[in-house]
Chains A and B, each alone.
Chain A
Amino acid sequence: MFKQISHTFLYVLDQDEALDFYVGKLGLVVHTDADIDVMRWLTVTLPGDDSLQIGLLVPGPPLHDEATAAQVRELIAKGGAGGGVIFETDDCVGTYEALRAKGVEFTQEPMERFYGTDCALRDPFGNPLRFTEQPRPA
């Protein structure tokens, strides 16, 4: 059976703007940025751990016809596209403050939950993201 999750995908409205955000602000790194003829294949990973790549796809041909692409874009913008990522961090509050200082749009400040401390944000396009600090072992 399967042994690893290697790729997941998020739809974004603009790949350059996505790079500014996911790399420039969140601190991910580019894994692949390639013109594969039919589209720009753009994936990012955590620095130092490329076991999971997040593909940043733009709705449109060849994945979608124009009318479908327009619908997907509108869904992304109202937070309804269905994608999302949850990261783990060793320091939720510190990361929150650092990202806020960079102008990242948070939808929930850090809160203690039974599974740890976490907070929520959106990427520039409307996709929901979250990061969690696991509870420290007592």
Chain B
Amino acid sequence: MSRATEDRNRRLLRARDTIDRSYAEPLDVAALARVAHVSPAHFARQFRAVFGEAPHRYLQRRRIERAMELLRDTDRPVTEVCLDVGFASLGSFSRTFAAVVGEPPSAYRQRWLAARAAGPRERASARAPACWEKALRRPVGAPAAQPSPPASAAPARESSCGEAGSAAAL
């Protein structure tokens, strides 16, 4: 019993690692299910059982976490950041970002620039290796099921993550 659970957990961890590594690619359920040696029909349910959230939500948080860093630490335009982290459309990127972070990408960047200009305070966690940065900085907001819309009227959310070929969206 436990052996089977360990084996399942390890295979699903491999799929989660694939999300962490390949977030910028158009990941779909079929590819991740193959990594986990699970049937596509069971993949999302098993992933949620092991990690406590749906795989598409995990992927969204990974992408938004990467976008937050690019917005903070580079001057790449928002449209390029959107593509860099795996979104196919600016609309779905902006909506997902706002749902997770609580403000649009451009506002987030402005706030960071303003804070940085206000004082040369070094970020303590900037000393942490990348694995910890990744884990610690990942936003915990809930973008997936029924996000509360931003204050301004939000258009209906897409069900996909906005990645290319989202017919089999996570």
Identify the A interface with B (CB < 8 A). 13, 70, 73-74, 76-79, 84, 86, 105, 107-108, 111, 113-115, 118, 120, 122, 125-126, 128, 130, 132
Which B112-136 residues have C-beta < 8 A from chain A? 126-127, 129-131
Contact of A111 among B10, B17, B130 (CB under 8 A): B130
Given contacts A107-B17, A114-B126, contact A78 B131 (CB under 8 A): no
Given contacts A74-B5, A77-B6, A78-B12, contact A107 B21 (CB under 8 A): yes
Contact A128 B131 (CB under 8 A): yes
Separation of A126 and B130 alpha carbons in the complex (Å): 18
Contact A120 B130 (CB under 8 A): yes
Given contacts A74-B5, A74-B6, A77-B6, contact A86 B13 (CB under 8 A): no
Contact of B16 among A73, A79, A125 (CB under 8 A): A79
Contact A78 B50 (CB under 8 A): yes
Chain B facing A: main interface SS: helix
- Number of interface residues, chain B, beta carbon within 8 A: 21
Smallest CB-CB separation from A114: which chain B residue? B126
Smallest CB-CB separation from A107: which chain B residue? B17
Given contacts A122-B17, A125-B10, contact A74 B2 (CB under 8 A): yes
Contact A126 B129 (CB under 8 A): no
Contact B129 A113 (CB under 8 A): yes
Contact A120 B131 (CB under 8 A): yes
Smallest CB-CB separation from A73: which chain B residue? B6
Separation of A111 and B127 alpha carbons in the complex (Å): 16
Contact B10 A77 (CB under 8 A): yes
Contact of B130 among A74, A77, A108, A125 (CB under 8 A): A108
**How distant is A120 from chain B, measured CB to nearest CB, in Å?**
6
B7 contacts which chain A residues (CB < 8 A)? 77
Contact of B129 among A13, A70, A118, A122 (CB under 8 A): A118
Contact with A along B33-77 (1 / 0, CB 8 A): 000000000000000001100000000000000000000000000
